[in-house]
Amino acid sequence: MRHRYECPMRWADLDPLGHVNNVVYVDYLQEARVDLLRAHGRPTATAGLVEGLVVVRHDVAYLQPLHFRFRPVLIDCWVTEVRAATFTMAYEVYDEDPAAPEGRTVYVRATTVLTPYVFSEERPRRLTPEERATLAALHEEPAPVAASEPTPARVTDLGHYPVRVRFSDVDVFGHVNNVKYFEYLQEARIVLMSRLWDDLPAAVRRPAVVVAQTEVDYRRPILFREEPYDSWSWFSHVGRTSAVVESEIRDGDDVLARARVVLVFVDETSQRPAAPEPTIRQRLVAFASA
């Protein structure tokens, strides 16, 4: 059974291209997830799923750009897997469109792996029978998904970015909210690309880039503190019109989060995939193979 949430949009959700920013979709998913658990859970049996969950992994595929309007965007969410201490939710962010395939225009498809968490003891816990029964009522078989293989981390000055946690990044449990990781990764990615073509000749056009897919594994909580965490990013693949950036956020040798982001170069006028200028691609290939 799928749960539908009508998600309000805000002008501040947009990026410089006039699209909803890739980070904001993760906020939309979080709102839909909380609405589902509040609507279908019983307060005495499933309050822990609303108030005590942490995200283990996000997989987000961006299919079409979403532009601002005053009406809400629709989000369907449901459960695809229930295990002893984790469960997986799937989502579609869409508009109803009778002229489109399946009667809808889909902007994003995503999944989230979550675990119940005992915040007073900083540990995950098993799902209770009542929680499992609630989640089972929302179950739908998942579509097969091909898993990607991470590449070895690359630590370079060019790919380093200090992650400074703001007080507003932290949730009521003292952890950095899962959505904020996407912001940190976006900031690190923008800094890396800026460094790669900072000294390009004025005649070389800087490419426009959109995010096609993001995968984030959450290993350990990030906490508020004065000193920054370290983020390291590198290009693991460079194609004709796309590239893959992988990243880690670390505290010393401890990996707190690992990410893989597929970027697509686009023509700003047509908004269609387009190969970047040869000078741009050469620098990406050189950095990826260094």
Confidence at residue 238, expressed as pLDDT on a 0 to 100 scale? 95
Measuring CA to CA, how many Å separate 289 from each of 37, 185, 273, 277?
46, 21, 24, 19
Q: Which pLDDT score, from 0 to 100, does residue 44 have? A: 57
HSE of 2 in the Cβ direction (CA atoms, 13 Å)? 12
User: Based on the number of CB atoms within 10 Å of its own CB, is 157 exposed (0-12), middle (13-18) or buried (19 or more)?
Assistant: exposed
Structurally, how many domains does the chain consist of?
2
The pLDDT assigned to 86 comes to: 97
Same domain, 213 and 272: yes
What pLDDT was estimated at residue 42? 64
**Domain enclosing residue 57, as ranges:** 1-145
Domain boundary among 145, 179, 206: 145
| 260 and 220 within one domain | yes
Do 126 and 264 share a domain, yes or no? no
> Residue 198 is part of a domain; what is its CATH number?
3.10.129.10
Note whether 76 and 212 are same-domain residues.
Answer: no
Indicate whether 172 and 74 sit together in one domain: no
Q: Are residues 127 and 159 in the same domain?
A: no
Per-position pLDDT tens, the chain of length 290: 899 999 999 999 999 888 999 999 999 999 999 999 888 866 555 666 766 889 999 999 999 999 999 999 999 999 999 999 999 999 999 999 888 888 899 999 999 999 999 988 889 999 999 889 889 989 998 877 777 888 999 999 999 999 999 999 999 888 999 999 999 999 999 999 999 988 888 778 888 899 999 999 999 999 999 999 999 999 999 999 999 999 999 999 999 999 999 999 998 888 889 998 898 999 999 999 87
